Structure 1
Amino acid sequence: MGRSYIFLILAIILEIIATTFLKKSEQFTKLIPSIITVIGYVATFYFLSLTLRQIPVGIAYAIWSGVGIVFITIIGIVVFKQTPDLPAILGIVLILIGVIVINLFSKMGSH
């Protein structure tokens, strides 16, 4: 199971990079950020597919998207000077709580 979580971490990191460069690509008008975006997403889904060998898709996707949302929000704040409002912060907190509940209490996966 440990390898699957390594693949999941790689998928999350690559998705964060790809999404950050998606913003920097300015609707695919800048070549280098566009290339990084496409390569990043392809690699993301490859590693996510490896994750699904052992981790149920619902749990893997919850972790992948939840962690990704948090880090992309932080990058948005720091790099792009985007300030989330209170409803956005509350929504992110609820997503994180959901990921934690799934991982601590779900019998769906053997993790």
Structure 2
Amino acid sequence: MGILLVAGAIVSEIAATLSLRASHGLTRLCPTVLVVLGYGAAFVFLAQALKTLDVGPVYAVWSGLGTIGALVGGVLLFDEGVRVATVAGALLIALGVAVMYVGGGLEH
């Protein structure tokens, strides 16, 4: 159950971050509301997940996959450019997350 809560936190955080970009400095109402709701939901999911999972690995997974999701979303939704170094960094983050997950690093 904890992993599903972390997934909810990741999805909420990505949605909020992409809405932040779409809000144009919090000047557009609908994306601004999504920013507040998305980050709020992310922290609620994260707080619930931390009842049963270790904070260090969970935070690493949450922030790492959130970073990758924001990167991919920025490219797909906002036509942002990607450099080789950005892709390499994202792949290293993904590798680190995979190592923690396979090694059981998320569980108490």
Q: Which contiguous aligned blocks of 4+ residues in structure 1 show a shift greater than 6 angstroms?
A: none
**Among 98, 104, 107, the residue aligned to 2:102:** 104
> How do 1:1-111 residues align onto structure 2 when only pairs under 5 Å count?
3-105=1-103, 108-110=105-107
CA shift at 1:109, angstroms? 4.3
Aligned-residue identity in percent: 33
Show structure 2 runs of 5+ residues with no match. none
The CA RMSD measured in Å over matched residues stands at 1.5
CA distance in 1, matches of 2:69, 2:106: 25
TM-score normalised by L of structure 1 = 0.89
TM-score normalised by L of structure 2 = 0.91
CA distance in 2, matches of 1:89, 1:39: 29
Distance change in 2, residues 1:110/1:38 (3 Å) = closer
